[in-house]
Amino acid sequence: MTTDALNEKHSKLDKLQLMALSGLMVIGALFVYSATYANPVEAQKTWYAQIWFRQVIWYGVGLGAAMALCTVSYHTLARWSFVFYWAMILCLVAVLIPFIGKTHGWGARRWIDLPFYQFQPSEFAKVAFVLAGANFLSRPPEELRQGLIFWKGMGLMLLPFVLIMKEPDLGSALVLVPTGLVMMLVAGTPQKYLVRLIGVVGVLGLLLVGDILLAPPALRIPIHDYQRQRLLVYFGQDFAPANATQKQKAEARELQHKSSYQGQQAMISVGAGGMWGAGWGKGKQTSLQFMPSGSAHNDFIFSVIAEEEGFVGSLLVLTLYGVILFTGLRIAGQARDRLGKLVAAGVVTLLFSHIFINIGMNIRIVPVTGIPLPLLSYGGSSVLCSLIALGLMQNVYMNRRGY
């Protein structure tokens, strides 16, 4: 390939999005290190075995996967989308089998241990759903008016939703709902279907809230105890029933403190940061291990950034995410066809849902749920899938109309 051809190829990439992506990866590596350096177990490891370096390795692998995707037209990828989708459904079923799926001490069965990697199918299932959903919904508009097509599209979303809920992983399951709804809206699904669907989702949400706050034990919706406890914490409800004995009340207070501890420490971290923060590596919540070492570099990485870099650092992170989301919307608007528009819209909604829920739980505007912050939280599956999703978006940009 000649130099001119290479330059032409490079000019087709959305450089603004790539700059924001690079900034987030640098921040991610720095603050995964900051969140783990005080852990005595990590401190004893050689540098290339530490968590921050593994994060950098996953960045490299993810970028390689994204670049590989950009060498193949998204139309070709879409033709294989249902193969990928059903492969991930099989993996979601497999992870529920006790001798295959692993909990790693977290209670939920979410991982399949490979010789070199802890594979989390739910992360890959989200990307598979976006690609398969875009392929399914890119059919002629008149077909989308058929009730059967609508219900098939719903089934495409509900199947991974139910399987992920069974792990259980409420956060990962929930992001499928707005992603699916937005893709249906962009595709041109009749509004009467979507209004009814949103109405049903709203009613189910109200029923769940009513169940958490008001329902007696015999009539409660069967959800896991830790999920109910997180919702009780979010709504500020006492764990002890009104007729509880003093001993039961003391036990309930202890359980309530344990259930709300991570959220409280995250809020303290965010508040302690002030305008400029304590400085990189100087956050007391992390260095003194008030924030549990197992979650500081994962779901609560934003609180570490907020404490150490303050409002300014938090705003920088939000700005970089905003650039990625804005350029994603621009890519959707410039897409050559409906398939490209749906892929870009699905990726943007998926990323936005992750960002909103994760940062929301760090500042207590949504209940605590186990969902990573894209590109910043530590995790091979999360990093890989975030970069693969962005690779799909760059693929759509490279093949945009009028190029």
Average pLDDT over residues 13-17: 94
Burial of 83 (0-12, 13-18, 19+ CB in 10 A): exposed
Nearest to 349 by CA among 381, 325, 366: 325
10 or 285, which is more confident?
Answer: 285
Q: Please determine, for residue 59, whether its predicted confidence score (pLDDT) is greater than 90.
A: yes
Lowest mean pLDDT among 22-31, 91-100, 241-250, 304-313: 241-250
Which residue matches tokens 């995790």?
379
- Proportion of the chain above pLDDT 70, given as a percent: 96
Backbone angles phi, psi at 112, to 5 degrees: -115, 120
Asked whether residue 341 is assigned to any structural domain, the reply reads yes
Residue range 241-283, pLDDT digits in tens: 777 888 888 888 888 888 888 889 999 999 999 999 999 989 8
Average pLDDT value over all residues in the chain = 90
Quote the CA–CA distance of 142 and 394 in Å, as a whole number.
29
Question: What's the average model confidence in pLDDT over 191-215?
Answer: 85
Work out the average pLDDT over 231-248: 82
6-10, 143-147, 319-323, 398-402: range with highest mean pLDDT: 319-323
> Residue 2 falls within a domain, yes or no?
no
Q: Does a structural domain hold residue 402?
A: no
Task: Give a three-class secondary structure readout of 107-166.
Answer: CCCCEEEECCEEECHHHHHHHHHHHHHHHHHCCCHHHHCCHHHHHHHHHHHHHHHHHHHC
pLDDT band (50, 70, 90) for residue 342: very high
As a whole number, mean pLDDT of residues 18-41 equals: 92
Spatial separation of the C-alpha atoms in residues 264 and 244, rounded to whole Å? 25
129-158 pLDDT, tens per residue? 999 999 999 999 899 999 999 999 999 999
Would residue 14 count as lying in a domain?
no
Mean per-residue pLDDT for 56-76? 96
Q: How confident is the model at residue 9 (pLDDT cuts 50, 70, 90)?
A: very low
Burial of 210 from C-beta contacts in 10 A (0-12 / 13-18 / 19+): exposed
Count up the domains in the chain and report the number: 1
Q: How confident is the model at residue 105 (pLDDT cuts 50, 70, 90)?
A: low
- Domain membership flag for residue 343: yes
> Quick one: pLDDT at residue 238?
81
Domain residues for 327? 74-371
Q: How confident is the model at residue 176 (pLDDT cuts 50, 70, 90)?
A: very high
Better pLDDT: 324 or 296: 324
CA pair distance 237, 229, nearest whole angstrom: 9
Query: Region 58-81: what's the mean pLDDT?
Result: 96
- Average confidence (pLDDT) over 179-198: 93
Distance CA 62, CA 60 (A): 5
pLDDT for 269: 92
Residues 67 and 63: their CA atoms lie apart, in Å, by 6
Rounded Cα–Cα distance for residues 188 and 140 (Å): 10
| Cα distance between residue 154 and residue 184, in whole Å | 9
| 3-state class (DSSP) for residue 79 | helix
Q: Where are the alpha helices (DSSP H) in 273-292?
A: 284-287
User: pLDDT at position 4, please?
Assistant: 45
Separation between Cα atoms, residue 248 and residue 240, nearest integer Å = 7
